Amino acid sequence: MHSAAKPSPRARNGKRTVPGLRPYPATIGLTVDRSLEVIPDEALLGCLLTLADPEVDGDVLALRLLAAHGSLEEAVAAASVGNLPGGVASDGHAVVRFQAVVELAARLVRPSLERHPVFVAHDSLVAYSRLRAACSTVQALRLLFLDDRRHLIADEIHQTGTFGDVAIYVREIMGRALQMEAHGLVIVHSGPDDDPPNPAGARTSCADIQQAGKFLGVELVEYLLVGRRSYCTLIQEPADARVGRRPSPVASDSGPSPDRKR
């Protein structure tokens, strides 16, 4: 049956199209007084692609990017590390614009962690950790420093590793926590694969950091292993069990447990 859908303006103007893909008119009808909540993912992604490179047909490339990665989240993450469909200029400007989108999203989540204990805002913690890892093509170890109420006060990349695991040095981690005058600590070990990294000795490192924190007054509140599609934690006590518990600078005696994937 012949489609009654109108082609996009760029398709009508002779821009290259992809056979078998119907261009979506991403920018038609978008005005400042119309909520963007109503437009579908391919239209929003098409707008971003057009902003990234005005010379391309963003409608078609959005469909191609979604078809390759399956969801808006995965498409934006892929674009932020340079996995853009053919036709986009390779000067890096498009990648930077997508990285800016991810950075903006992370900064919008961060205030929740600054206002609430991280085990209360655990979903925000996971979202923030995944956003911070989204633009990385290597494994990374990130430290999130918490005050005595377990609110986020600072975070930074501690180590990166191009191949294999990142090195975990308990003395350096705890030393940095003391320099930051932190009472609590979250460790996020992220990787560029869909599944969380499975570093050798992670449980031992988790236990060592917990033990060191008991003597130094720095509680290891969470230890996350984060991938692009899922994550797991090495801390035994579930986050929801800590809600309402008065924050203490001393960690519990419990050691790490088998990974609980979320």
Distances (CA, A) of 192 to 65, 86, 162, 200: 18, 22, 10, 17
What per-residue confidence (pLDDT) applies to 90? 63
The H or E element spanning position 260 is strand 260-261
**Comparing 201 with 27, which gets the higher pLDDT?**
201
Query: 157: closest CA among 77, 95, 171, 172?
Result: 172
Count Cα atoms within 13 angstroms, Cβ side, for 256. Answer: 23
| Partners of residue 152 on adjacent β-strands | 146
Rounded to 5 degrees, φ, ψ at 157 are: -75, 130
Condensed to tens digits (0 to 9), the pLDDT of residues 60-84 reads 888 888 888 888 888 888 888 888 8
Is the pLDDT confidence value at 205 over 80?
yes
Residue 98 confidence class, pLDDT cut points 50, 70, 90:
confident
- Structural contact between residues 160 and 141, judged by C-beta atoms closer than 8 angstroms: yes
Condensed to tens digits (0 to 9), the pLDDT of residues 10-54 reads 444 444 444 444 444 545 556 656 667 778 888 888 888 887 777
Q: Mean of the per-residue pLDDT values for the chain? A: 78
Mean pLDDT to the nearest integer, 99-114: 93
Mean pLDDT to the nearest integer, 147-170: 86
Strands, DSSP E only, in 83-169? 139-146, 152-161
The H or E element spanning position 60 is helix 58-69
Mean pLDDT to the nearest integer, 217-244: 79
Task: State which of 75-84, 88-97, 140-149 shows the largest mean pLDDT.
Answer: 140-149
Query: 254: closest CA among 216, 217, 203?
Result: 203
CA torsion, ordered 147, 151, 156, 158, to nearest 10 deg = 60
